[in-house]
Amino acid sequence: MVIPVHDVNPARRTPWVTYALIAANVVVFLSTPGLAGSVAGDSSLAQLCQLHAFLDRYAVVPQELIHHQLPRLVPTGDVAVGPRGPGCAVGPPGYDKSPELSVLTAMFLHGGWLHLLGNMLFLLIFGNNVEDRMGHVRFTLFYAVCGYAASYAFALLNAGSAEPLIGASGAIAGVLGAYLVLYPKARVWVLVPFLIFLPLRLPAWLVLGLWFVLQAVYSSGEGVSDAGTVAYAAHIVGFLAGMLLAWPLKPGTPPPPEPRGLLFGRRARPRQTW
């Protein structure tokens, strides 16, 4: 997988919504109870119980979303001692959970630093131009719609699952799909792991097309060992939703600037005007 670091496609206005989304995701991550110890690998049982209780309340659970069947017992966040030793206590929920609203809250939850930073990197690089083309309000609605489409699609495919679904990946996949439609010829600086990280400037259609193909391959369980823990199907649906929603905006979208300098190992010829 290539790692994007910068695109040659300046925005005309400040992407305030993109910046706000990144800030909100970081703040929520740092505020998630019990997550710091879990990420460091030295979490106590009490921290893990707090994390489980928090995720059960605010994450998407497919069987809750599709069947609207809320569990009678949920993690309370406390530690208890049972016949098999210490564990996380469960009890009747002390809150009213809306499965539909949990789709929104889950879009700001992440399971670790790599999960968070990877998502925020893609949002920062590609979100500014999509927001610039759509405008702040429409981009906000677009982001939410893609996130909801991705979560509902994954829940429908896993309607009996009680595993929580978290992350902004579905919504950000929609941003990538929109960018591919609007700016397929924009150049993106990427790092390619080949013995060392090799910097290359590649067209967006190649970078994002490769990303989509990999998600499709991974969703089938091929070439990856964690296919059961990553919602690749949600990535695919979010990406397609973003493409569909951005398609009406393609006519009239100004093309990105023509890059100069090294391109695929050769120099791009500057255009001449007559």
| pLDDT higher than 60, residue 69 | yes
Residue-level pLDDT at 70: 86
| pLDDT higher than 70, residue 110 | yes
| pLDDT higher than 70, residue 267 | no
| pLDDT higher than 50, residue 266 | no
Quickly state the pLDDT bin for 43 (edges 50, 70, 90): low
Quickly state the pLDDT bin for 95 (edges 50, 70, 90): confident
Q: Which of 193, 172, 192, 167 is nearest to 241 (CA)?
A: 172
> Mean pLDDT score of the chain, rounded to an integer?
87
Separation in Å, CA 267 to CA 99, 175, 259: 54, 30, 10
The residues, any chain, with a CB within 8 Å of residue 100's CB and separated by 6 or more, are 65
The residues, any chain, with a CB within 8 Å of residue 172's CB and separated by 6 or more, are 119, 122, 123, 127, 238
DSSP class of residue 31? H
3-state secondary structure of 7: strand
Query: H helices within 32-134, ranges in order?
Result: 35-40, 45-58, 62-67, 99-106, 113-134
Q: Which region among 13-22, 84-93, 146-155 has the lowest average model confidence (pLDDT)? A: 84-93
pTM for the model: 0.87
Residue 38 or 219, more confident: 219
pLDDT for 186-204, tens place per residue?
999 999 887 778 899 999 9
Separation in Å, CA 187 to CA 5, 23, 193, 204: 11, 26, 19, 6
Q: What is the distance between the alpha carbons of residues 177 and 181, in angstroms, rounded to a whole number?
A: 6
pLDDT for 208-217, tens place per residue?
999 999 999 9
Are 232 and 169 in contact, with CB atoms under 8 Å apart? Answer: no
3-state secondary structure of 33: coil
For residues 237-244, give the mean pLDDT.
Answer: 97
| pLDDT higher than 70, residue 52 | yes
Residue-level pLDDT at 37: 52
pLDDT for 137-192, tens place per residue?
999 999 999 999 999 999 999 998 889 999 999 999 999 999 999 999 999 999 98
